[in-house]
Structure 1
Amino acid sequence: MKILYIHQYFKTPDEGGANRSYFMAQALKEKGHEVEILTAHNEKKKLSKNVDGLLVHYMPVPYENSFGFYKRIKAFINFITFCKRFIKSKNDYDKIIVTSTPLTVGFIALWAKRKFNIPYIFEVRDLWPEAPIQMGVIKNPLLKIWLEMQELKFYKNAERVIALSPGMRNHIERRAPEVKVELIPNVADCEFFERVEEKDENLILQYGVNNKFVVSYFGAVGPVNDLMSLIKCAELSMHLPIRFLIMGEGSSLAEIKNYVAQNQLKNIFFIPYGTKEEVKNVMNVTDACYVSFLHKPVLRTNSPNKFFDAIASGKLIITNIQGWIRGLVEKRHIGFFADSDFPAEFGEKIMPFIDSPELLKKYQEASRSTAEQFFSRKELSNHFVQAVEGKNYQHEAEIRSIFSLSA
């Protein structure tokens, strides 16, 4: 098949960020499909180039994590416009894959289906508009109703819908019970990341973490990510031999840096947001990874990339997220839940791992084992390819079984 894969925030491993679309597109290519990517970049002109065997078309739609609501909406609308123009000029595709967020990519897929009769797969990475509604970003009741109607329309017109977590799948099946929904979580890249037995001495010196227990945070630093919950834990852990490393970017980063500086929290260090290779270097000296979101019901359904990088690296997981991630972390014995409302508990819960290298190693080995057994890139990419090809996945029961742990 000739497939157009539309992802506004497409990233390669060299660029850092979420690489799911890159790996899924590569898996489709390896199965003999011709894949083109339609995405955006912050340059002023359109650009098409070959990226590791994939033809990638970049549309000039600037976007930054620091954008406010209206600038984001403008970027979403501009991307729709550019994509429609592109498809008008080149519409010989057998199938389109669109991946959210933003939800607005659904407008592109629905338009292409109606105008050129091209079927589409709709991949849901976050529940929109439910997330911005619960966050209070979208308040107008008429706009809420209209967006929910569009969401339902996108689901019902899709050939298949792919959900990244059980909460997302359950939401979609409630909204559109007649739609075929595939549960394909984010992947743990066990080929790239590895569980190290001994930390690299040069990296220990580089990050200044000699004789320290290292807790790291990777990824977005925005209002939904609730990174202040980790800062509060660090503030109450000044007396412990812990170093907190933060590698992220986003609209809340400057405010958090100011708080850390004003309160002289010398156990927190910020690292520039980097490539996947740079993430791997920080992972090398890391003992535990912190995964967080605000306490909003819709955010419990999220499937954060850095959680999967962390278990692929065999790290102890500390999370403040209720829902499937907490269930998985606790029942697979790969970490613990740190309630944001009671940051003082953090020190009590982490001390057994500081005091006992054997306990830490046991949890870290279970973390890596969970990644290999249930979230391997090879297996989940195969599931993705079969979904796009319209086939039934042979190991659906196994995928559902791991998520049943988190019920």
Structure 2
Amino acid sequence: MKVLFLSYYYKPDITAAAFRSSDFVNYLSKAGTDIRVITTYPHKSENVQLEEVKDNITLERIALRPVKGRGFKNFLIHYLSFIPKSISQSIKWSSKGWKPDIIYISSPPIFIGITGIILKYYLRRHLVLEVRDIWPDSAVAAGQLKKGGLAYKLASLFERFLYRRSNGMVCVSSPMRDYIKQYYNKSICVAYNGPKKKQLQEQKQSQPPGIAER
């Protein structure tokens, strides 16, 4: 299987989103998936290569336009600068004979969905959306957006549009799944950020005597 994975965050960036994305991609690679990743330069690390090819993973990084000042407009320009470059790279791979079976995008920010939607119809492939945070409400909590404003309303409309155009969805909690169900009537996969307490207890109980106490 061939998977095109797009995310704003990836190792060696020092963020939870980067660790999740990298671990997930490594898991798919070990399972034999031919996976290509389009991501950005790390936000909190300078230890990075332009392009990496390892095992079944091809990694391409994109330089985003720097954020100049605060305010939603500046953050919007920063996030949107990912779109044309990521689309161009995907089309470049496609023109050379590599087409994914699945396009997998990880949000937030939700603007990565623009790339996902365009590639879905251009490449005629299924789109899977991973939702790690509800956007635009997470942008409001971060002080990047004012709730109830025009930008918030437009972002909310796009959020629902993206949900409805996705062929599959992954989220991180049951409450998040219940929220998404308002706009998405297909099955939603809940993949927690870590094992649940019950799972940890069952794992501990299944270990040979003496191992759990070490």
TM over 0.5, yes or no? yes
Report the structure number with the largest CA radius of gyration.
1
Rounded to whole Å, the distance in 2 between the matches of 1:63 and 1:22 is 23
* In 2: Cα distance, 1:38 partner to 1:117 partner: 19
Q: Identity over aligned residues, as a percent? A: 20
Say whether 1:33 aligns with 2:33: yes
- SS of residue paired to 1:38: strand
* CA offsets 1:51-86 (integer angstroms, 9 cap, x no match): 56521101122668x973443322211111211111
- Indicate yes or no: 2:119 matched with 1:112: yes
From 77, 87, 109, the counterpart of 1:84:
87
CA separation of 1:24 and 1:134: change in aligned 2, threshold 3 A: closer
Q: 1:63 to 1:118 in 2, by over 3 A?
A: farther
CA distance in 2, matches of 1:86, 1:135: 30
Considering only aligned residues, what root-mean-square deviation do their CA atoms show, in Å? 2.9
Provide the C-alpha distance between the structure 1 equivalents of 2:54 and 2:92, rounded to a whole number of angstroms.
22
Letter in 2 for 1:173: K
- More helix by percentage: 1
Task: Name the structure 2 match of 1:101.
Answer: 108
Moved over 6 A (4+): none
1:7-406 equivalences under 5 Å are 7-12=7-12, 16-18=14-16, 19-41=19-41, 47-51=50-54, 53-61=56-64, 68-69=70-71, 70-91=73-94, 92-133=99-140, 137-139=144-146, 141-176=149-184, 178-187=185-194, 369=200, 372=203
Instruction: State the SS of the aligned residue for 1:175.
Output: coil
- Secondary structure, counterpart of 1:90 in structure 2: helix
* Contact kept in structure 1, 2:6 and 2:105, CA below 8 Å: yes
- Size of the aligned set, in residue pairs, is 191
Structure 2 residue runs without a partner (length 5+):
205-214
Deviations 1:186-209 (A, max 9, x none): 135xxxxxxxxxxxxxxxxxxxxx
Q: Distance in 2 between matches of 1:130 and 1:77?
A: 18
Distance in 2, matches of 1:130 and 1:57, equals 30
CA change 1:372–1:146 in 2 (3 A) is farther
Offset at residue 184 of structure 1 (A)? 0.5
Q: Which 5+ residue runs of structure 1 have no aligned equivalent? A: 189-327, 333-365, 374-407
**Any conservation in 2 of the 1:155–1:179 contact (CA below 8 Å)?**
no
Please say if residues 129 and 170 of structure 2, whose CA atoms lie closer than 8 Å, have aligned partners that are also in contact. yes
> Any idea what SS the aligned residue of 1:174 has?
coil
Per the alignment, do residues 31 and 120 of structure 1 end up closer, same or farther by CA in structure 2, a change over 3 Å counting? same
* Contact 1:156–1:179, Cα closer than 8 Å, also in 2: no
Q: Normalised by the size of structure 2, how large is the TM-score? A: 0.77
